[in-house]
Amino acid sequence: MEFHNDKISEAVIRRLTDYLRCIRIASSSDKTLLTSKDISETCGLKPSIIRKDLAQFGAYGVKGQGYNTHDLTRHLNNILGLNNIKNIILIGAGHLGTAIARYPGFITANFNFIAAFDTDPEKIGSHIGHTKIYSIDKLNKYIKEQKIEIVVLAVPSDEAAGIVEKLDSNYVKGILNFTSMVFPGRIHDMYVHNIDLAKELEVISFCMKNCLTQKRDDQINNE
Amino acid sequence: MEFHNDKISEAVIRRLTDYLRCIRIASSSDKTLLTSKDISETCGLKPSIIRKDLAQFGAYGVKGQGYNTHDLTRHLNNILGLNNIKNIILIGAGHLGTAIARYPGFITANFNFIAAFDTDPEKIGSHIGHTKIYSIDKLNKYIKEQKIEIVVLAVPSDEAAGIVEKLDSNYVKGILNFTSMVFPGRIHDMYVHNIDLAKELEVISFCMKNCLTQKRDDQINNE
DNA sequence: AAGTGAAAGTTATAACTTTCACAAGCAGGG
DNA sequence: CCCTGCTTGTGAAAGTTATAACTTTCACTT
């Protein structure tokens, strides 16, 4: 990779994905150049930080003009490693798991649900879209055979810990955890990322009442 | 409210929700006291920041002992405003919307989906659990009548902007946006919170490759 | 009833992030 | 071919956050 700086925080990465989305939205129009101001208006961040984030990875812009949407998309995809298709699996084919597997955004980002796993005998053998559901007994065998690195976990919360514990960490390096179970950032050298939908609602609910400014990491006032 | 400090960042709020979840998980055992170290081990944060976060809102702990799980839960729920039931609505009763409405974590956090809205005539009149699906034409009428403050948006991405634009901002103050559409933090005085499931996968994918440390806001190394 | 250990609360500092302000430089027009 | 306007890229300053180290206080023990 061609970028010089040696340390990038997760916050920066999150913003890069935002920029990518903003470009996607904007490029539906015929504009071929976007300025940091343009992007800032879509995603609500300040132009200065957008410029700084992008400059960190190289001078992608043209002074006086802005950023070429096509080039910038390519660069961002490259930084984020989204250029090649990554096979991932789904564990738990309930309502949420099914919805996740069908979520169109994954395809855009080049993630492919190659298989799903569940305990329910009625589900085993059926499909979610093109993704076949297998018995969870075959999970680690499949992981090994297909060298699966990323797993999406959408089982009932009380089953989550047991499954994570058993996952073959020789192959699995990342877990996207949609259960209400909380895991520390790393388990057996696997990177775990917790997403709790209710949490997001809790945050928004608090922010609604207390937020005064409109920036991302809001400063909030209480009496 | 009894807390003295006047500024709280969103990051703190996110951590508070984590603590709440950690307590929930831990309190299934018979422990009545939890230390900052206990909590740190479940959620992967450092004990010092947990103590600092909690101390900011008052001295809830007992020196030498830890935090009383019951008291701390009550305090955290109080800070986050989760003690009373909040009626919310769902817009878009597709796969994702349906899964969200069924997500058990919302009930725990006292959020109640009082109604859902969709354009599909076949869905209108049917139910997701106890939540009835109405025509989207009746959306603003319903918002006004029921004084809805929080809306969960799970429609196809290309419909998102149109719906947000039309929402009655006299009542709606918070939008939880599950579409791939990106909104700035505030629109017409409504606080918008974007959740893109693919984004989380993008972040984890990057972190997997590059993360070296195990803390939340990871420091990442590239060559 | 004093002593001890353990963990909360607190403070100071280091690390990191964001913001501002300005220099640099490209494109288009005259 | 230079001049003008505009936006990037950057370096320093401001602001913010996390961390470690320290002090306090409680409960339990003897």
Q: DSSP string spanning A51-86?
A: HHHHHTT---EETTTEEEHHHHHHHHHHHHT-SS-E
Tokens of B160: 């998102």
Which region holds residue B186: left if phi is over 0, alpha if psi is between -120 and 50, else beta? beta
* Residue A7: per-residue pLDDT: 78
Mean pLDDT of chain A: 89
Q: B99, A98: Cβ pair inside 8 Å? A: yes
Distance B63 CA to D30 C1' (A): 21
Q: Is pLDDT larger for residue B216 or for residue A100? A: A100
Cβ of A37 near strand D (distance < 7 A): yes
pLDDT digits (tens, 9 = 90+) for A20-66: 999 998 876 678 899 999 999 999 999 999 999 999 998 889 999 99
**Nucleotide of closest approach to A33 (CA, C1'):** D7
Q: A206, B25: Cβ pair inside 8 Å? A: no
Burial class (CB in 10 A: 0-12, 13-18, 19+), A94: middle
Q: Is pLDDT larger for residue A105 or for residue B30? A: A105
Q: What whole-number percentage of chain B has pLDDT above 70?
A: 91
CA distance, residue B119 to nearest chain A CA (Å) = 19
CA distance, residue B206 to nearest chain A CA (Å) = 6
A87 phi and psi angles, rounded to 5 deg: -80, 130
* Residue A211: per-residue pLDDT: 58
Which region holds residue A97: left if phi is over 0, alpha if psi is between -120 and 50, else beta? alpha
* Residue B5: per-residue pLDDT: 45
Q: B204, A100: Cβ pair inside 8 Å? A: no
**Cα angle A131, A133, A136; round to 5:** 135
**Closest residue, chain B, to A223 (C-alpha):** B6
Cβ of B64 near strand D (distance < 7 A): yes
* Residue B220: per-residue pLDDT: 29
CA A123 to chain centre: 27
Local confidence band at B30 (pLDDT 50, 70, 90 cut-offs): confident
Q: Which of residues 17-36 of A touch strand D (CB under 7 A)?
A: 34-36
* Residue B207: per-residue pLDDT: 83
pLDDT at B190 > cutoff 60? yes
pTM above 0.85, yes or no: yes
pLDDT digits (tens, 9 = 90+) for B36-73: 999 999 999 999 999 999 999 988 899 999 999 999 99
Burial class (CB in 10 A: 0-12, 13-18, 19+), B30: exposed
Which region holds residue A172: left if phi is over 0, alpha if psi is between -120 and 50, else beta? beta
Distance (Å, rounded) from C-alpha A39 to C-alpha A47?
8
* Residue B59: per-residue pLDDT: 82
Q: A14, B210: Cβ pair inside 8 Å? A: no
